[in-house]
């Protein structure tokens, strides 16, 4: 089978688009905030709000999560998004920290 330049270019663009979309679809990657990060630990950050220690953080409520916090920089439908507290790190939308606010 002979490959034309046009076919090669179309395949290259298609592959590049797929890579870009897969990066978005799989979340924050290397920029994801780790629960072991010193600032995350200081604020009690958990990637899954269901795992918050309710005795240590009595202000936690079941409906609180990063995606509906006023500090969350992503859309409510994003898996990960920015947070004004953590600079360039991405927090999990289903996560929580003690600085949660919905004002």
What domains can be seen in the chain, in order of their start residue? 31-92 (4.10.490.10)
Average pLDDT, integer, range 71-80: 92
Residue 58 has pLDDT above 90, yes or no: yes
Residue 93, burial from CB neighbour count under 10 angstroms (0-12, 13-18, 19+): buried
* Higher-pLDDT residue of 16, 77: 77
Residue 3 has pLDDT above 90, yes or no: no
**Least confident among 7-16, 52-61, 74-83, 85-94:** 7-16
Rounded distance, CA 44 to CA 9, Å? 49
């Amino acid at each position: 089978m002979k490959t034309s330049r046009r076919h090669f270019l179309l395949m290259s663009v298609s592959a590049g688009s797929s890579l870009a979309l897969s990066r978005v679809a799989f979340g924050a990657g290397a920029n994801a905030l780790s629960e072991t990060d010193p600032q995350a630990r200081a604020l009690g950050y958990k990637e899954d709000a269901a795992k918050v220690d309710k005795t240590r953080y009595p202000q936690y409520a079941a409906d609180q999560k990063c995606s509906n916090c006023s500090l969350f920089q992503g859309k409510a439908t994003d898996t990960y998004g920015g947070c004004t507290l953590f600079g360039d790190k991405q927090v999990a939308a289903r996560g929580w920290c003690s600085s949660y606010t919905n004002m």
